[in-house]
């Protein structure tokens, strides 16, 4: 598997056995801790009960120092405040954000000429060429949602509030509490359509922030988003989450958008809507899709209401990849592993076990041998679409969380060898690095379950 650095390839058993100081399991108050270790009763990253005493353990090679070291690198590389851009020369019209002077955004790196930040020449001394300016001038709602989750789990309230401000400014004037999916800088909306996985993550992060920092405003705003998510985003018949509020006539779904943890939190704070029915419908659908595939393990990137692979028709993919376990599905193991870690649901366990047993067998129980191209859901064969990068590795590591300790332990030890890259250039790295940060945070003990849930 190709990553940012070339490492000595070691067998899985040796990786587990050779846990050094860099992969010291984290236990509350024990060696390897950093002041961020979980404090909830029963928390024990790296062994023992998971938060809430569910009995689901993190890998024995979990090391909270890894995400603690990665977070400031990721934050500096991928987040920027309105103040930083203004000081760097931006002459964009900032009236959309005039009520949010402390707003911050996550930079996206798939931009075009519409993403050019007029006048910007540098950020904190880092020079910006026209090409880099066009590449990183836009922000997508997905990045705001991920960034808010990452910042809350890494205890960074200042960044969390800045990203929340960006979200609130983006929602102004839309007539909805759902965020437009694409904006340029701190200036204007480029596409008013909403991608509901982002809104799901924003609302989830606000509920978690309320429990973590005790501010009522977080929960109040979360409830507004949650109400719109249900009324505009849930299929009233199947109870499945549409990819967007305007997808009701398409009968196509993206399983990587489904977040069981979100549905559980929404059920707790929003009694007006049947979120437990939504949760159950999603698990029924996911198990149906997984079991219907040739491998009975991997998922397609997009699927129909009946559970068959289906082209979403939104120009986000090529016509030949929607049936692959690929750029969308790479997020599924994280969402299911998170739910299993916190709530020990047997349905999550079954999904993870099917996937981890499959990938461990295909890799000869060695994470360094994970195939470098995507599996085809319909045939079980490998495609020509590349799946290199730490986010794919982290996803496959998460598939073993709590269900295949040998695989999870060795895979996490291997995954933790790859630092957060600071290599110059941005193209194609936003998605890989934001998921690397998310997956590292979960695998290594930063996803601490609030005592209130």
Residue 396 corresponds to which tokens in the numbers above?
Answer: 């496959």
Residue 34 has a pLDDT of 31
How confident is the prediction along the chain (453 residues), in pLDDT tens digits per residue?
444 433 333 444 434 333 333 333 333 222 223 333 333 323 333 333 344 446 799 999 999 999 999 999 999 999 999 999 999 999 999 999 999 999 999 999 988 889 999 999 999 998 988 888 899 999 999 999 999 999 999 999 999 999 999 999 999 999 999 999 999 999 999 999 999 999 999 999 999 999 999 999 999 999 999 999 999 999 999 999 999 999 998 999 999 999 999 999 999 999 999 999 999 999 999 999 999 999 999 999 999 999 999 999 887 666 789 999 999 999 999 999 999 999 999 999 999 999 999 999 999 999 999 999 999 999 999 999 999 999 999 999 999 999 999 999 999 999 999 999 888 778 889 999 999 999 999 999 999 999 999
Residue 257 DSSP label: G
Distance of CA 449 to the CA centre of its chain: 17
Quick one: pLDDT at residue 46? 33
Q: How far is CA 201 from the centre of its chain?
A: 9
What dihedral do alpha carbons 52, 56, 62, 64 form, nearest 10°?
A: -10
Q: What is the pLDDT of residue 54?
A: 63
Q: Which residues contact 21 (CB under 8 A, 6 or more apart)?
A: none
In this structure, what is the dihedral angle of CA atoms 30, 34, 35, 41, given to the nearest 10 degrees? -40
Distances (CA, A) of 64 to 28, 81, 289, 313, 421: 11, 27, 34, 41, 18
Domain covering 12-443 in this structure, CATH number: 1.50.10.10
CA–CA distance, 447 with 437 (Å, rounded to integer)? 12
SS (H, E, C) 132-194: HHHHHCEEEHHHHHHHHHHHHHCCCHHHHHHHHHHHHHHHCCCCCCCCCCEEECCCEEEECCC
pTM for the predicted model, two decimal places: 0.90
Q: Crossing angle, helix 390-398 and helix 405-415, to 10 degrees? A: 160
DSSP state of 7: -
Q: How far apart are CA 89 and CA 125, in angstroms?
A: 12
CB 254 within 8 A of CB 302: yes
Q: Residues 121, 123, 129, 134: what is their CA dihedral angle, to the nearest 10 degrees?
A: -100
Torsions phi, psi for 185 (to 5 deg) = 50, -140
Containing 119, the helix (H) or strand (E) segment is: none
CA 225 – CA 217 distance, rounded (Å): 13
Strand order in the sheet with 138-140: 138-140, 182-184, 188-191
**Residues 6 or more apart from 35 whose CB is under 8 A from it?**
none
Taking the C-alpha atoms of residue 65 and residue 141, their distance in angstroms, rounded to an integer, is 29
Closest by CA to 102, choosing from 120, 75, 82, is: 82
Q: Given the structure tokens 């040998």, which residue do they identify?
A: 406
Nearest CA to 409 out of 63, 79, 31, 6 is that of 63
CA distances from 89 to 86, 133, 187 (A): 5, 12, 14
pLDDT at 318: 64
Alpha helix (H) residue ranges in 172-259? 196-213, 216-233
Q: Which residues pair with 253 in a beta bridge?
A: 303
Residue 5's H or E segment, with its range, is: none
């Amino acid at each position: 598997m190709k990553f940012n650095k070339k490492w000595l390839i070691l067998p899985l058993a040796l990786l587990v056995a050779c846990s050094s100081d860099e992969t010291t399991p984290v236990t509350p108050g024990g060696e390897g801790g950093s002041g961020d270790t979980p404090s909830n009763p029963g928390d024990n990253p790296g062994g023992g009960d998971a938060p809430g005493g569910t009995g689901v353990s993190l890998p024995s090679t979990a090391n909270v120092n890894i995400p603690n070291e990665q977070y400031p690198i990721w934050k500096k590389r991928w987040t920027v405040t309105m103040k930083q851009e203004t000081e760097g020369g931006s002459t964009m019209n900032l009236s959309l954000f005039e009520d949010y002077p402390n707003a911050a955004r996550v930079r996206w790196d798939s931009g075009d000429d519409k993403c050019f930040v007029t006048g910007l020449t540098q950020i904190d001394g880092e020079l910006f060429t026209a090409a880099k300016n066009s590449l990183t001038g836009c922000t997508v709602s997905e990045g705001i949602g991920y960034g808010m989750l990452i910042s809350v789990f890494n205890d960074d309230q200042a960044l969390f509030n800045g990203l929340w401000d960006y979200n609130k400014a983006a929602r102004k004037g839309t007539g909805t509490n759902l965020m437009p999916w694409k904006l340029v800088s701190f200036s204007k909306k480029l596409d008013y359509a909403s991608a509901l996985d982002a809104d799901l993550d924003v609302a989830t992060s606000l509920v978690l922030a309320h429990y973590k920092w005790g501010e009522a405003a977080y929960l109040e705003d979360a409830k507004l988003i949650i109400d719109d998510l249900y009324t505009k985003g849930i299929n009233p018949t199947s109870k499945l989450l549409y990819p967007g509020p305007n997808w009701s006539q398409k009968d196509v779904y993206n399983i990587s958008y489904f977040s069981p943890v979100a549905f559980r939190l929404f059920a707790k704070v929003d009694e007006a809507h049947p979120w437990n029915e939504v949760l159950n419908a999603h698990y029924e659908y996911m198990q149906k899709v997984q079991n219907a595939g040739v491998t009975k393990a991997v998922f397609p990137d997009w699927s129909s209401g009946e559970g068959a692979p289906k082209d979403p028709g939104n120009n986000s993919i090529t016509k030949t990849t929607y049936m692959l376990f690929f750029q969308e599905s790479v997020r599924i193991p994280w969402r299911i592993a998170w739910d299993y870690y916190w709530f020990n649901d047997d349905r999550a366990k079954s999904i993870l076990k099917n996937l981890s047993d499959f990938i461990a067998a295909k890799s000869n129980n060695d994470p360094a041998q994970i195939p470098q191209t995507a599996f085809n859901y319909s045939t079980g064969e490998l495609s020509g679409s590349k799946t290199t990068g730490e986010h794919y590795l982290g996803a496959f590591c998460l598939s073993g969380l709590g269900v295949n300790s040998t695989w999870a332990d060795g895979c996490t030890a291997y995954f933790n060898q790859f630092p957060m890259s600071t290599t110059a250039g941005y193209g194609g790295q936003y998605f890989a690095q934001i998921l690397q940060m998310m997956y590292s945070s979960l695998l290594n003990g930063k996803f601490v379950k609030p005592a209130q849930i």
